[in-house]
Amino acid sequence: MRSSRALLGVLAASAALAWSSGARAALRVSRDAADLAIPAGQWRVDVEVEPGALTTVLLVGEPDGLSHFAVQDARVFDALEEDGRLPRAASLIVPDGVRTLGLSLEVSSDVRLVVRRASPEPVLPRDVVELVGMPSPLVRDDGYLLERPNRYQFARPDVVAFRREGFRDTRARFRRDPIGVVDITQWDGRRPALDVGNPRHVSHDGGRDVDIAIPSTVEPSLQRDHCEKIVSPDPRRGEGHFTAVCRRGTARAFDATRLAYLVGRLAARRVLDRVFLDEEFLEPLAKAADRLARHHVIPRHAAAQLQPEGGVMMHLPWHTDHVHLRFLGPKGRAPVTALAHDVEDP
């Protein structure tokens, strides 16, 4: 096993050396800069960063124009479903001691590199703020994984802060597996996957709606059905439209206690507008919240919000495999606007 890993390391290093031999001299983005035009070719780009700050880089261009993209000088875990298309995003909390973030890239046409730096605070904004990328986890104890491509993981800075804090605290208390972050908002502030003509949601614009996987008692806690799902025609929306709900009494592997803790801590901060979930999970979630409140793990007023009459929890079809968190506050604005070749939002 060790020899195989060593061989893979040698091969990876050789590939990196072969790539770098064809790269041009490094470009540089100073700490005060936010935009850089990059012509076609192989490049190393050095981005000046501040340790501890959230840095988001977004490479914008023709969808099929990317041949290679990697973040150097820091350990970054790609999203589980990264698809190699442009725009390509990467976001991270800069580790201590890192002052320059190196990017290696190869593009077949001219692109634009957008850099955003922020220091997210868990405080609801009063005004419209610019969206940033949900940072890739650096260690398992961050408590989450990014499931969908990074360009669909843009949120208001406060939403990023609330989510990171919640995932980290949940991991620390239960020592269970990381929870998947499924979809937030597309890089241009619109609905995820609209840029490929296949939007997955009727909401999720503006960076305040977050889909996470349902925490599971059987690892991994990634997006998957936790019940027997019934799919049927949706008469309200007309021909060709369907709805999906759980068959009553078929919930399985649902970690209600972990979800009650995660959502309950947000409810305690009074930052949630709504939480959408299939009704099959609402009763066990409410009971778990009551147990946590009795043991003084979450406040009573937080547990009350997770009850059916609490005004926060709501049944919604198609939520058999994930939890939809909607935060209070205004929608955020995109760091860049939509491109000419993007699909129009109907």
Structure tokens at 172: 């620390």
Using alpha carbons, select from 140, 320, 157, 173 the residue that is nearest to residue 261.
173
Instruction: Pick the more confident residue, 32 or 191.
Output: 191
Same domain, 82 and 115: yes
Domain that holds residue 280: 229-320
Least confident of 2-6, 63-67, 126-130, 315-319: 2-6
Same domain, 165 and 306: no
267 shares its domain with 299: yes
Q: What are 275's two structure tokens?
A: 């939480």
Residues 209 and 245 reside in one and the same domain = no
Same domain, 73 and 185: yes
In the chain, the percentage of residues whose pLDDT exceeds 70 is 90
Would you say residue 3 lies in a domain? no
pLDDT digits (tens, 9 = 90+) for 260-297: 999 999 999 999 999 999 999 999 999 999 999 999 99
Residues 51-110: tens digit of each pLDDT: 999 999 999 999 999 999 999 877 777 788 889 999 999 999 998 999 999 999 999 999
How many folded domains does the chain comprise? 2
pLDDT at position 344 is 63
* pLDDT for the residue numbered 10: 37
CA distance 346 to 340: 15
Reply yes or no on whether the pLDDT at 11 is more than 90: no
By C-alpha distance, which of 36, 32, 186, 56 is closest to 107?
Answer: 36
Residue 337: pLDDT band with limits 50, 70, 90: confident
234 and 204 in a common domain: no
Contact, 80 vs 147, CB < 8 A? Answer: yes
pLDDT of residue 14: 42
Task: Check residue 254 and report its DSSP letter.
Answer: B
Is the same domain home to 196 and 90? yes
Q: Given this model, what pLDDT does residue 5 score?
A: 37
Same domain, 31 and 150: yes
Integer Cα distance of 327 and 314 in angstroms: 14
Please determine, for residue 181, whether its predicted confidence score (pLDDT) is greater than 90: yes
What's the pTM value of the predicted model, to 2 decimals?
Answer: 0.90
Quote the mean pLDDT of the chain. Answer: 90
- CA 282 to chain CA centroid, Å, is 24
180 and 240 housed in the same domain: no
pLDDT at 18: 45
Structure tokens, 87: 């725009």
Residue 238 pLDDT grade (very low, low, confident, very high; cuts 50, 70, 90): confident
Whether the pLDDT of residue 255 is over 90: the answer is: yes
Average pLDDT of the segment spanning 247-271: 97
- Percent of the chain residues past pLDDT 90, beyond the cut: 79
* pLDDT tens figures, 218-237: 999 999 999 999 999 988 87
Q: Is the pLDDT of residue 8 over 80?
A: no
**Residue 68 in 3-state DSSP?**
strand
What are the pLDDT digits (tens) for 123-169?
999 999 999 999 999 899 999 999 999 999 999 999 999 999 999 99
Same domain, 129 and 173: yes
Amino acid 33: pLDDT:
84
- The span from the CA of 322 to the CA of 179, in Å, is 11
In 119-241, where do the E strands start and end?
132-133, 144-146, 154-155, 179-183, 209-213, 229-233
Separation between Cα atoms, residue 226 and residue 245, nearest integer Å = 11
pLDDT value at position 251? Answer: 97
Domain boundary among 188, 213, 238: 213
The dihedral through the CA atoms of 292, 158, 81, 96 has a sign that is negative
205 in a structural domain: yes
Residues 118 and 249 in one domain: no
In a domain, 222, yes or no: no
Decide if 257 contacts 288 (C-beta within 8 A): yes
pLDDT at residue 12, as a whole number = 40
> Same domain for 164 and 256?
no
